[in-house]
């Protein structure tokens, strides 16, 4: 009996070993940041950091692959990282990914920076003012050159230099805080310099190269990172990553804040309300238009919008609506198309490719609108050439019958009605006459 109890206890202990191993495994959250950095990315990262803190995670991995994005959203993400009570590991992955422009700032802000092979980092020159790069003034060689340098610069050059110097100071501050390569931080902003993963590791732009998530956690284990509360040692041996999937609100925000989607929602909303106004009671265009317009306005208030461009789009749709209401043979319609195209080009106040409406889409909408109004003008012109088919004017050209002989003035019957008529030729009773014109309530006729 004793032997049976010992065997049973040993079996239970062995059965509990996998459970205890699984329970002791450390889980590190992983956030995937892909595409342009915008309001949706900011919300995703901030919510992910808050969730990881609430769950007591020892660290959080930020896997990025981005060409850049909004300066405001990038700074908000960095502020959340710098204020995070748990270490943030930035990992540029998978192979072939990049941390360009805004991604460089995020990488420098994180407590640990790593890259996968065949990835790149850099090209952090600000382009929100339309500056492909800022050229420094040449050094003074003599008094004449010095005097030329003292001449006032244009406001555009001054703003470009101001934005570049601000970005340089910001990235240098992050590099000094994390103890990383300061020279590359400045070169990435001023000269749009880039580096491969191997170069970044050798020049201390990043801490190490990691092929996969397990290698990232394994190499980060035991590192001492500087937190707001003091230095902290990472204990990530044997840890595994767990991806945080964006919630429905973040996914919706990511969809509607994509500039092309926001632009289309705006147009659908305006056109839907316009069609509902011309056809009251249909309801479907009005309901769809109202929902789309509200979603578009919510997305636009999160994006860098030029309100002159927005006003031009509204004006263009209004002019096109006026063309439908009172046809002007294309004058209002053409003006509306021009205003719509101009507003579409000016809508987003940024020159980054991630925040621009597709030019092909704008051209397509302009061509479709122009074709619609050319068709409207053609229909209006054809309608003017048609004979009148309603009212008393439709009697012109019709055939009537004389009720009695008359020479000059008499009476005729047409469509069952008796009308006064005049004729320059004698008319006999029962003779058919054709209506030539209408003078008030008197028909001008001629005998057939």
Q: In Å, how far are 265, 407, 408, 413, 419 from 424, measured between CA atoms?
A: 67, 7, 6, 18, 17
Give tens-digit pLDDT for 170-193: 999 999 999 999 999 999 999 989
Instruction: Give the residue carrying structure tokens 């010992």.
Output: 6
What is the rounded radius of gyration, in angstroms, for the C-alpha atoms of the chain?
A: 38
- Number of Cβ atoms within 10 Å of the Cβ of 267: 21
CATH topology (fold) of 392-447? OB fold (Dihydrolipoamide Acetyltransferase, E2P) (2.40.50)
Residue 355, pLDDT > 70, answer no
pLDDT score, position 275: 81
Position with higher pLDDT, 81 vs 134: 81
235, 304, 386, 429 from 100: Cα distances, Å: 30, 20, 64, 97
Quote the pLDDT of residue 276: 82
Distance CA 378, CA 370 (A): 12
- Mean pLDDT calculated for residue range 404-425: 88
Residue 316 reports pLDDT greater than 70: yes
* pLDDT of 394 above 80: no
Distance CA 93, CA 64 (A): 6
**Range 343-371 average pLDDT:** 78
H or E stretch covering 408: none
- The confidence score (pLDDT) of residue 358 equals 78
User: How far is 92 from 110, CA to CA, in rounded Å?
Assistant: 12
CA pair distance 225, 233, nearest whole angstrom: 6
Residue 146's pLDDT band, with cuts at 50, 70 and 90, is very low
Mean pLDDT of 117-134: 69
Question: Between the CA atoms of 333, 337, 340 and 346, what dihedral angle is there, to the nearest 10 degrees?
Answer: -140
Degrees (nearest 5) of the Cα angle 419, 421, 422? 175
- Give pLDDT, residue 353: 61
pLDDT reported for residue 71: 86
- The mean of the pLDDT values for the chain is 82
Residues 263/344, Cβ–Cβ less than 8 Å: yes
- pLDDT band (50, 70, 90) for residue 80: very high
For residue 124, the surrounding DSSP H or E stretch is none
Average pLDDT score over residue span 115-140 = 64
Beta-strand relationship, 399-402 and 417-422? unpaired
Question: pLDDT digits over 155-175, tens only?
Answer: 557 777 888 899 999 999 999
* pTM summary value: 0.68
Q: Would the pLDDT of 284 be above 50?
A: yes
**Cα dihedral: 271, 277, 281, 285 (round 10):** 10
**Does position 134 have pLDDT exceeding 50, yes or no?**
no
Q: CA 204, CA 313: separation in Å to the nearest integer? A: 49
- Checking if the pLDDT of 432 tops 50, the result is yes
Any idea which of 135-144, 263-272, 296-305, 342-351 has the lowest mean pLDDT? 135-144
CATH topology of domain 22-134+153-247: 2-enoyl-CoA Hydratase; Chain A, domain 1 (3.90.226)
Q: Decide which of 273 and 133 is more confident.
A: 273
B/e letters for 332-371, b = 16+ CB within 10 Å, e = fewer, are bbbbbbebbbbbbebbbebebebbbbeeeebeebbeebbe
Of 21, 25, 18, nearest to 237 by C-alpha is 25
> What pLDDT sits at residue 321?
79
Confidence band for 330, pLDDT divided at 50, 70 and 90: low
User: What local confidence, expressed as pLDDT, does residue 140 receive?
Assistant: 40
| Top-confidence residue, 354 or 262 | 262
Alpha helices in 38-154 (DSSP H): 39-54, 71-82, 102-109, 143-149
Average pLDDT over residues 321-337: 75
Res 23: pLDDT: 37
pLDDT-based confidence at residue 108 (cuts at 50, 70, 90): very high
Looking at residue 371, its pLDDT comes to: 78
The CA-CA-CA angle for residues 207, 208, 210, to 5°, reads 140
Under 8 Å between Cβ of 304 and 348: yes
Hey, which of 22-26, 70-74, 274-278, 368-372 has the most confident mean pLDDT? 70-74
Higher pLDDT, 238 or 107: 107
Residue whose C-alpha is closest to residue 59's, from 84, 34, 36: 84
At residue 327, the pLDDT reads 62
What integer pLDDT is reported at residue 374 of this predicted model? 72
The closest alpha carbon to 203, from 122, 134, 125, belongs to 122
Across 333-356, average pLDDT: 78
Domain boundaries, the chain: 22-134+153-247, 257-385, 392-447
148 vs 71, higher pLDDT: 71
């Amino acid at each position: 009996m004793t032997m049976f109890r010992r065997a049973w206890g040993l079996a239970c202990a062995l059965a509990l070993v996998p459970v205890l191993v699984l329970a002791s495994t450390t889980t590190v959250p992983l956030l995937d940041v892909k595409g342009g950095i915008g309001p949706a990315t900011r919300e995703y990262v901030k919510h992910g950091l808050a969730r990881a803190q609430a769950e007591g995670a020892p660290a959080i991995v930020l896997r990025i692959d981005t060409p850049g994005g909004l300066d405001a959203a990038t700074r908000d993400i960095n502020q959340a990282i710098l204020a995070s009570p748990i270490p943030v590991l930035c990992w540029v992955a998978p192979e072939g990914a990049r941390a360009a422009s805004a991604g460089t700032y995020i990488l420098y802000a994180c407590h640990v920076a790593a890259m996968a092979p065949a990835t790149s980092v850099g090209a952090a020159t600000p382009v929100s003012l339309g500056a492909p790069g800022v050229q420094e003034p040449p050094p003074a060689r003599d008094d004449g050159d010095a005097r030329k340098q003292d001449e006032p610069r244009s406001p555009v050059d001054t703003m470009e230099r101001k934005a570049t110097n601000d970005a340089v100071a910001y990235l240098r501050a992050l590099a000094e805080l994390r103890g990383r390569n300061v020279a590359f931080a400045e070169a990435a902003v001023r000269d749009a310099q880039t580096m491969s993963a191997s170069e970044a590791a050798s020049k201390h732009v990043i801490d190490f190269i990691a092929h996969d998530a397990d290698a990232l956690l394994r190499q980060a284990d035991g590192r001492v990172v500087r937190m707001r509360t003091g230095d902290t040692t990472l204990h990530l041996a044997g840890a595994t990553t767990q991806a945080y999937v964006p919630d429905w609100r973040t996914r919706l925000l990511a969809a509607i804040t994509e500039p092309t989607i926001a632009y289309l929602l705006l147009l659908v909303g305006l056109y839907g309300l316009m069609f509902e106004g011309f056809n009251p009671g249909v309801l479907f265009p009005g309901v769809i238009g109202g929902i789309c317009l509200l979603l578009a306005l919510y997305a636009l208030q999160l994006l860098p919008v030029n309100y002159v461009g927005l006003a031009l789009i509204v004006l263009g749709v209004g002019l096109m609506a006026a063309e439908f209401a009172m046809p002007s043979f294309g004058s209002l319609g053409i003006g509306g198309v021009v205003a719509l195209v101009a507003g579409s080009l000016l809508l987003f106040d940024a020159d980054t490719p991630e925040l621009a409406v597709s030019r092909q889409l704008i051209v397509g909408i302009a061509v479709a609108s122009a074709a619609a109004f050319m068709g409207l003008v053609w229909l209006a012109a054809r309608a003017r050439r048609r004979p009148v088919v309603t009212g008393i004017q439709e009697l012109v050209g019709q055939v009537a019958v004389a009720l009695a002989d008359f020479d000059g003035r008499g009476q005729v019957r047409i469509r069952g009605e008796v009308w006064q008529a005049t004729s320059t030729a004698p008319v006999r009773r029962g003779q058919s006459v054709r209506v030539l014109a209408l003078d008030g309530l008197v028909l001008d006729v001629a005998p057939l």
